[in-house]
Amino acid sequence: MKQKSTCFVSTRLWMSVVAAALAAKGALAQTNATVLNGSLKEAYKNYFTVGVAINTRQQVDQDRRAEPIIKSQFAAIAPENCLKWESVQPRPGTNGYSFQSADAYVAFGEKNNMMIVGHTLVWHGQTPQWVFQGEGGRALQRTNDADRALLLERLHEHIATVVGRYKGRIKVWDVVNETLSDGGGNDTILRAQSPWVRILGYEFIEKAFIWAHEADPDAILRYNDYSLENAPKRAKLITLVKRLQEKNIPISAIGSQTHVNLTWPTFADEDAALTEMASLKLPIYITELDVKAGASGQRIRSGAVDANANLGGGGDTQALADSVQQALAKQYVNLFTAFCKHSADIKLVTFWNVTDADSWLRGQNPLLFDAQGKPKPAYEAVLKLPETLKK
Ligand code: GLA
């Protein structure tokens, strides 16, 4: 068992820890080193596992820039795209699968002795249209939607096949991704525009967890979503998870994507979010961490995930101005300080991609490594933070 930090100190004290960490000599110094002298996975080993999402070139060692970073810094991997429905089952039926890329992903994790995450079984994004379409008279009246039974059959077959194939090897699955709606007030809890919600209501969520559990009873099964740092969205998460728990649905973890920006969330926001999520008595996984270091307001209001992926700006992958580098370092230190404070509940912190050049937010410089794979001041600050916390 890993030794866990169990510090219950006041928010004010933690704020001063953040300030001390930022002031630490050299924490914000510009670094040009291409050789990394430290390791994030080592630095945080008493707190939680640190992981990264990788792409299909990286999983076959075709990315020389990212390879040394992945292997020296991270102890867990998530698949950026290769296990999404459109990649793994592009066509209907048992012959419609394409496992080459997913197999390579899992083999990479095993070869490098990493924790392997599966992402994602059920999502409205990156899912082929055929999944939702009626066939052979099995359609809902007056629509071309599949009827409930047909959609559930497809879901069951997909989950049993994909989870079953990697049973015991993929240890953690994002079972349901982003099914909470974004609006506040009287808005419904579930994302009404999702075909899953439109056709099946809550049923697909419950069945997805049940079938994933049947396919691999030892896998950790997460519900994964974004903007859980915002209280109204988090309230929906809590309602949804409690409902599942009351029905004994086998959900075993919360995935908080943590796509954030320079000013949001504050340390206090993140601290409050983690405290409230922990009240569900499920472990928390930070699943898709990145910090948009450009204009504020990343995908917090829109549910149009695919459109949001294009918000990155004009492909500006140049180095950030020093003041922005410092703001990025400060925000990462805020976040990791909160993660460490809550390390009794947090199992894994996963960055969403390796370098700024790989990111879905290309142009927003969101990661710890720049487009050339060089560590940014934010990397140095995050790496050094645990030393400061020990003091
Ligand atoms: C969501 C998904 C990820 C990724 C990002 C960016 O957060 O969960 O798989 O696609 O959007 O596009």
pLDDT at 136: 84
80 annotated active-site: no
Q: Read out DSSP for 15-68? A: HHHHHHHHHSTTTT-----SS----HHHHTTTT-EEEEEE-TTGGGT--TTTHH
Q: What is the pLDDT of residues 60-92, one digit of tens each?
A: 999 999 999 999 999 999 999 999 999 999 999
Least confident residue range of 49-53, 55-59, 259-263, 306-310 = 306-310
Query: Best substitution site from 288, 300, 306, 362 to test ligand 1's pocket, by max atoms within 8 Å of Cβ?
Result: 288
Average predicted confidence (pLDDT) for the chain: 88
pLDDT at 8: 44
pLDDT at 184: 63
Q: How far is the CA of 223 from the centre of ligand 1 (A)?
A: 14
Query: Best substitution site from 179, 225, 305 to test ligand 1's pocket, by max atoms within 8 Å of Cβ?
Result: 305
Ligand 1, pocket residues at CB < 6 Å: 119, 177, 226, 257, 288, 305, 309, 360
Provide mean pLDDT across the span 326-342.
97
Three-state DSSP class for 172? strand
pLDDT at 4: 42
Provide mean pLDDT across the span 283-289.
98
Q: 284-292 and 253-256 as β-strands: parallel, antiparallel, unpaired?
A: parallel
Q: How far is the CA of 259 from the centre of ligand 1 (A)?
A: 9
Q: How far is the CA of 200 from the centre of ligand 1 (A)?
A: 23
Catalytic residue among 80, 206, 288, 380: 288
Per-residue pLDDT for 236 more than 70?
Answer: yes
pLDDT at 308: 37
What residues contact 139, with CB distance under 8 A and at least 6 apart? 133, 145, 146, 147
CA angle 32, 329, 363 (to 5 degrees): 75
Provide mean pLDDT across the span 223-248.
97
How far is CA 307 from its chain centroid? 18
Per-residue pLDDT for 313 more than 60?
Answer: no
pLDDT at 40: 98
Per-residue pLDDT for 48 more than 80?
Answer: yes
Atom of ligand 1 nearest to the CA of 80: 9
Detail the DSSP E strand segments found in the chain. Answer: 49-54, 76-79, 115-122, 172-177, 220-225, 253-256, 259-261, 284-292, 346-351
pTM of this structure: 0.87
Give percent of the chain with pLDDT exceeding 90: 77
178 annotated active-site: yes
- Residue with the bigger pLDDT between 299 and 334: it is 334
d(CA 196, CA 186) in angstroms, rounded, equals 21
